[in-house]
């Protein structure tokens, strides 16, 4: 890492941790709001819950990374620092990247769901093309 980056990270570390903690709390509230009221009947609700879960995992991994980085910059090399680095390298960083990627794809899925809800509201509300009428025949849309 460059000397400039190392001089900028410690002051921004607590800010990053604070923003991630607020995001974690709000994502938890979103999951609780959608799951407690049983409103997971439509695709929008399910996608929003998945997005909140992925963003929550991303926030936890980000908090862990920032705490480890700020802690590591201020101390000498120790056994605990080595263990934290190994845990982050083998678990924290992969979870950070996986949650980041899943959050992006979930946002794209949410945008596609909203696009279909606006452009084809009848088909979207029926839940797809395989809806049938009372006679068991495929409904004409």
* Residues forming beta bridges with residue 138, ordered by sequence position: 132
Q: What is the pLDDT of residue 131?
A: 47
Distances (CA, A) of 134 to 21, 96, 128, 140: 51, 49, 17, 12
Write out pLDDT tens, residues 71-89.
665 455 677 777 777 888 8
Is residue 60 in a domain?
A: yes
Is residue 117 in a domain?
A: yes
Is residue 137 in a domain?
A: no
C-alpha gyration radius of the chain: 22
Is residue 24 in a domain?
A: yes
Q: What is the pLDDT of residue 58?
A: 92
* Residues forming beta bridges with residue 132, ordered by sequence position: 138
Q: Which domain holds residue 94?
A: 3-126
Number of structural domains the chain divides into: 1
């Amino acid at each position: 890492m460059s000397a400039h980056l190392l001089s900028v990270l410690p002051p921004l570390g607590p800010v990053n941790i604070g923003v991630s903690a607020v995001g974690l709390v709000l994502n938890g509230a979103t999951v609780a709001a959608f799951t407690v009221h049983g409103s997971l009947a439509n695709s929008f609700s399910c996608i929003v819950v998945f997005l909140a879960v992925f963003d929550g995992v991303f926030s936890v991994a980000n908090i862990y990374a920032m705490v480890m980085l700020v802690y590591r910059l201020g101390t000498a090399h120790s056994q605990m620092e080595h263990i934290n680095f190994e845990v982050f390298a083998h678990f924290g960083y992969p979870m950070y990247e996986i949650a980041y990627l899943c959050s992006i794809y979930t946002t794209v899925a949410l945008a596609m769901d909203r696009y279909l809800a606006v452009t084809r509201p009848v088909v979207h509300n029926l839940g797809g093309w395989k809806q049938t009428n009372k006679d068991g025949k495929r409904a004409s849309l």
